[in-house]
Structure 1
Amino acid sequence: MTNDDTHGAILADDSVPGSADGALVELRGAGKSYGNIRALHGVDLTVHPGRVTCVLGDNGAGKSTLIKIVSGLHQHTEGEFLVDGEPVRFSTPREALDRGIATVYQDLATVPLMPVWRNFFLGSEMTKGPWPVRRLDIARMKRTADEELRNMGIVLDDLDQPIGTLSGGQRQSVAIARAVYFGARVLILDEPTAALGVKQSGVVLKYIAAARDRGLGVIFITHNPHHAYMVGDHFSVLRLGTLELSAARSDVSLEELTNHMAGGAELAALKHELAQVRGVDTEGLPEEADLTAPTATPSAPKATTAAPTATGSEGTA
């Protein structure tokens, strides 16, 4: 990444090739095996610009393996992985980043004691002056960080405060704005609301919607179907390394999504046993007939509703 004014050029570059259907990233029957252990098998996933693709699943479902394939950390061992319609096989995360695929992990890759502006440019600092005595351009980095954060709706009174003093929702929002500024076209968010409260989760969901509205393709990894349904355009549910559900928002209800996410088939099979336990209400448990959500991937999901507005947004310090 250069230290000049070319940051974010990928977003505005009309010469970037694309697939015939406009997909930025596509997995076709993709899988990953570690020796004789098959962690992922036969997964289809398509990410379009300006849409949020939610990948849901319980622990061990294969979400982390999918992230590692798309972000370039691991290579797939079966199927195809396409970027802009072109088959790829990344060797490092840097190669994925060069193609506009950025990942925001749960730990956010920030240094808690460093100020906000320094974390924003961590590893890609702007410099000035002649070589070999170039020095950090602190004023320019502060100004740019403030502008980019405000473009995402994040207003911080003091960019010199350590990023560790911000709330979890604010730190996630800064990480999202950083990825957008450095040219991300596909943004992978790894469980961004997992450790947050209701109010902070609302803040993060608002900025996920903001990234979508700026034309990014977002992959939202989560185990919370309610959060996914608030901002998602398409839902893919993984179970034991395979794709159990792939449906557009218009073709699946929150209840159906929750049932698939929670293993509704197993609950339905055990309903008669749970009914024999005193004090257990089984009326709300799914029947086998309830688990009939579509599994085919629709071509054009309808527009989603607006992301929730967080009262007293923590995007304002």
Structure 2
Amino acid sequence: MDPAVAEPEPATRQPVLSLRGISKGFGAVQALTEIDLDVHAGEVVAIVGDNGAGKSTLVKILAGVYSHDTGSVSFDGQPVSIGSPAASRELGIATVFQDLALCDNLDVVSNLFLGREITKGTLDEEEMEKRSWSLLRQLSARIPSVRIAVASLSGGQRQTVAIARSLIGEPRIVILDEPTAALGVAQTAEVLNLIERLRERGLGVILISHNMADVQAVADRVVVLRLGRNNGNFRVPDVSYEEIISAITGATDNVVTRRAEARNTERNAS
């Protein structure tokens, strides 16, 4: 049975990022098999799946940490190669990993511009501070001071700093790996608001999450991975929590497979 799929995007709307037939193996273990994925500007695409579904491997391929074995990657319709993390960033893909990779002993400004410092012979602290506030205001971020040490920030505020840092290079695609993991209710709401701000800025967002409530709150589409393969591509307004879970678990007799069968029957009849 073919996995249920969303209706295709309008032909006039070209995806910013497009993956076709992406496969990746580690010795005898096949982590990904012929993965297809499209991400458009101003769209939040959630990638969900059980542990071992291949989500982390896919993220690391897009981030340039791993190279794929077969398949193709296109950016703005042009074939590209992502051979390293630097190549990924130069292409316009920013990745915020779950561990955030922040320096707790440094302040917000230093974390935002770490490795990208603005200099005029010496460090231009005033300009970096000005740009930091400008960027945080664009995200409607609630940071008390850009000179406060990151160690003293809440989980939601730390996630804010990590996301703001990813925007320094003006990316087209932002990947968020489990951004609300281990956060409380208020902090989760803060991060979800940040994702809304990214969409409003016209960025394509890839959201990796186990939290279906978060996914249904902010995502436009849900792409399900199961055992390293595509197993569903749904528009959020058209799918229920139960349908997503069915696609994740791979149940064979459920509303997902029945919907796919009904659509195939309708197409064949027409």
Q: Where does the alignment leave 5 or more consecutive residues of structure 2 unmatched?
A: 1-10, 262-270
Amino acid at match of 1:152: L
Amino acid at match of 2:210: H
- Is residue 83 of structure 1 aligned with residue 70 of structure 2? no
Q: Which residue pairs with 1:265 in the alignment?
A: 251
Deviations 1:10-31 (A, max 9, x none): xxxxxxxxx9732111111211
Q: Which residue pairs with 1:98 in the alignment?
A: 90
Deviates more, 1:107-116 or 1:171-180: 171-180
Root mean square deviation, CA, Å: 1.9
> 2:143 and 2:62 mapped to 1: Cα distance?
32
Q: Which has the higher contact order (CA 8 A, sep 6+)?
A: 2
Q: Which residue pairs with 2:191 in the alignment?
A: 204
Task: Kindly report which structure 2 residues correspond to 1:213-224, keeping only aligned pairs within 5 A, or say none.
Answer: 213-224=200-211
Task: Kindly report which structure 2 residues correspond to 1:1-317, keeping only aligned pairs within 5 A, or say none.
Answer: 21-128=13-120, 134-261=121-248, 263=249, 265=251, 288-292=253-257
> Displacement of 1:291 after TM fit?
3.2
> 1:173 and 1:64 mapped to 2: Cα distance?
21
> CA, structure 1 residues 85+20, in 2 after alignment: closer, same or farther (shift >3 Å)?
farther
Q: Where does the alignment leave 5 or more consecutive residues of structure 1 unmatched?
A: 1-18, 129-133, 267-287, 297-317
> TM-score of the superposition, structure 2-length normalised?
0.88
> CA, structure 1 residues 21+40, in 2 after alignment: closer, same or farther (shift >3 Å)?
same
Deviations 1:60-81 (A, max 9, x none): 1100110011111111112211
Contact 1:235 1:249 in 2 (8 A): yes
Give me the identity figure in percent.
Answer: 43
Contact 1:55 1:236 in 2 (8 A): yes
Secondary structure in 1 aligned to 2:51?
A: coil
Contact 1:245 1:295 in 2 (8 A): no
Contact 1:251 1:294 in 2 (8 A): no
* Paired positions, count: 251
> 2:128 and 2:59 mapped to 1: Cα distance?
30
Q: Which residue pairs with 1:7 in the alignment?
A: none
**Structure number with bigger Rg:** 1
> TM-score of the superposition, structure 1-length normalised?
0.75
> Displacement of 1:182 after TM fit?
1.9
> Displacement of 1:295 after TM fit?
6.7
